[in-house]
């Protein structure tokens, strides 16, 4: 029999202190550092990943590091599974190829990934432990509302874009694809689903998806393969992300950072007729320009300041203008938008430099009447107003400036 070992009182106190410290000290999770060797494997296997793109010399990055680490600790306790939520970081100085791959233009940039797919909207909220943790909790919540009775469809909010899935059962490949798409596009559409006997009246030809657009426009039925993620995603994205988007103070930073000039319709909120005309003409005349300019509409009352920049007031609405992030250019009489090719020429004149040139030197010689002498007319185009919504130098270290148009 081994003899008993007795600790002296000081030793006993020390041992108890170490035990209490070990029990009550929170476990600190290490932030995963990403490089070219591991980035794809780690992001592809993560349900949700929040990645901090940073530079050590950037003071905003330095301020974020302890907050990001503490938020990771909080979330890790709630989602302990290794692949449920991953907090990761990329040193953009050490891995400039990764920074270029994800088009990092400022430090720090927080991007969200789902199963390796980068989400279009990055995190732009408050940089606090609570705000970051709440953001991840929101991303982990179910984006799909279950319908218990088909009568609920009659009470849908028709100001939103609604995607409804009718499935025989939840445990199916069809629903898993739908759920994956909903996780990506839940900020753009409301997603709903019904199962079994509830959905049966709508499943006369099998599982299906229905798009209910805002207002009283007719429903649209998805005719593609429900197990093909890419086809399903592209169809739903086309319905959820309109060609002409509304700009607000909440999404202004995101839109400006896309780097494309704005073609904006300023209209009164209740003036849906002008908005519909603008949407139709953009679709008719400018669909081929989708990747070169952003088509937007804005509430005249909320965006009085940009209107004043172009010497307009809400009483002048509807007004069409281009903001190139350097200058603003006015289209002219709104009714002229109905003239075939007129709106397209306005955008073409921006890209060719004609708008900028004419503001500084008057009409091009080719635009003067026969026999009329061309002359320079000095002018100063209004400065960009929406550039002020771009990422702030008081919040980020900005890496580049925009070209002049």
- Token pair listed for 399: 């890496």
105 vs 9, which has greater pLDDT?
A: 105
How many whole angstroms separate alpha carbon 294 and alpha carbon 173? Answer: 36
Return the axis-axis angle of helices 354-361 and 342-352, rounded to nearest 10°: 80
State pLDDT tens for residues 126-182.
Answer: 999 999 999 999 999 999 999 999 999 999 998 899 999 999 999 999 999 999 999
- Token pair listed for 75: 């979330």
Q: Please provide the DSSP assignment of 284-319 as one string.
A: HH-GGGTTTSEEEEEETTTTHHHHHHTT--GGG-SE
Other C-beta atoms closer than 10 Å to the C-beta of 8 total 8
State the pLDDT at residue 17. Answer: 45
Q: Summarize the confidence of residues 205-222 as an average pLDDT.
A: 93
Going by pLDDT thresholds of 50, 70 and 90, the confidence category of residue 373 is low
- Asked whether the beta carbons of 283 and 251 are under 8 A apart, the reply is no
389 vs 69, which has greater pLDDT?
A: 69
For strand 397-398 and strand 106-107, is the pairing parallel, antiparallel, or unpaired? Answer: antiparallel
Evaluated on CA atoms 267, 270, 271, 275, the torsion sign reads: positive
Longest Cα pair distance anywhere in the chain, in angstroms? Answer: 121
362 vs 6, which has greater pLDDT?
A: 362
State the pLDDT at residue 403. Answer: 42
Going by pLDDT thresholds of 50, 70 and 90, the confidence category of residue 222 is very high
365 vs 298, which has greater pLDDT?
A: 298
Is pTM beyond 0.75 here?
A: yes
Going by pLDDT thresholds of 50, 70 and 90, the confidence category of residue 329 is very high
State the pLDDT at residue 15. Answer: 52
For 162, phi and psi rounded to 5 degrees?
-110, 130
How many whole angstroms separate alpha carbon 93 and alpha carbon 53? Answer: 10
Evaluated on CA atoms 278, 281, 283, 285, the torsion sign reads: negative
State pLDDT tens for residues 12-42.
Answer: 454 544 444 444 444 456 799 999 999 999 9
How many whole angstroms separate alpha carbon 261 and alpha carbon 238? Answer: 21
State pLDDT tens for residues 302-323.
Answer: 999 999 989 999 999 999 999 9
Q: Summarize the confidence of residues 339-357 as an average pLDDT.
A: 92
Q: Does residue 295 surpass a pLDDT of 90?
A: yes
Lowest mean pLDDT, pick from 23-32, 175-184, 254-263, 271-280: 23-32
């Amino acid at each position: 029999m081994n003899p008993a070992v007795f600790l002296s009182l000081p030793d006993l106190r020390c041992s108890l202190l170490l035990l209490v410290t070990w029990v009550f000290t929170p476990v600190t999770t290490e932030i995963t550092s990403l490089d070219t060797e591991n980035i794809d494997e780690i992001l592809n296997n993560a349900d949700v990943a929040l990645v901090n793109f940073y530079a050590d010399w950037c003071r905003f990055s330095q301020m974020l590091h302890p907050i990001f680490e503490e938020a990771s600790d909080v979330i890790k306790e709630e989602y302990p599974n290794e692949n449920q939520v991953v907090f990761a970081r990329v040193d953009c100085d050490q891995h400039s190829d990764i920074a270029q791959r994800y088009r990092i233009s400022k430090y720090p940039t927080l991007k969200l990934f789902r199963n390796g797919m980068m989400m279009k909207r990055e995190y732009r909220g408050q940089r606090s432990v609570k705000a970051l943790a709440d953001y991840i909790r929101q991303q982990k919540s179910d984006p799909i509302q279950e319908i218990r009775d088909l009568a609920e469809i009659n009470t849908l909010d028709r100001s939103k874009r609604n995607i409804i899935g009718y499935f025989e059962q939840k445990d199916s490949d069809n629903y898993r694809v739908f759920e994956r798409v909903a996780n990506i596009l839940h900020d753009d559409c409301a997603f709903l689903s019904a199962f079994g006997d509830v959905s049966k009246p709508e499943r006369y030809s099998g599982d299906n998806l229905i798009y209910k657009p805002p207002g009283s426009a007719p429903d649209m039925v998805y005719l593609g393969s429900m197990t093909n993620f890419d086809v399903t995603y592209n169809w739903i994205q086309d319905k959820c992300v309109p060609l002409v988007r509304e700009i607000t103070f909440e999404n202004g930073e995101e839109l400006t950072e896309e780097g494309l000039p704005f073609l904006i319709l300023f209209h009164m909120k209740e003036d849906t007729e002008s908005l519909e005309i603008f949407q139709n003409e953009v679709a008719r005349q400018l669909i081929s320009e989708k990747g070169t300019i952003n088509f937007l509409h804005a509430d005249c009352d909320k965006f009085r300041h940009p209107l004043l920049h172009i010497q307009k007031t809400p009483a002048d609405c509807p007004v069409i203008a281009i903001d190139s992030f350097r200058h603003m250019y006015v289209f002219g009489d709104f009714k002229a938008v109905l003239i075939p090719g007129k709106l397209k020429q306005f955008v073409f004149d921006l890209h060719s430099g004609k708008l900028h040139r004419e503001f500084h030197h008057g009409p091009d010689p080719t635009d003067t009447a026969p026999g009329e002498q061309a002359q320079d007319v000095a002018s100063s185009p209004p400065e960009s107003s929406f550039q002020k919504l771009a990422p702030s130098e008081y919040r980020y270290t900005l890496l580049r400036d925009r070209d002049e148009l």
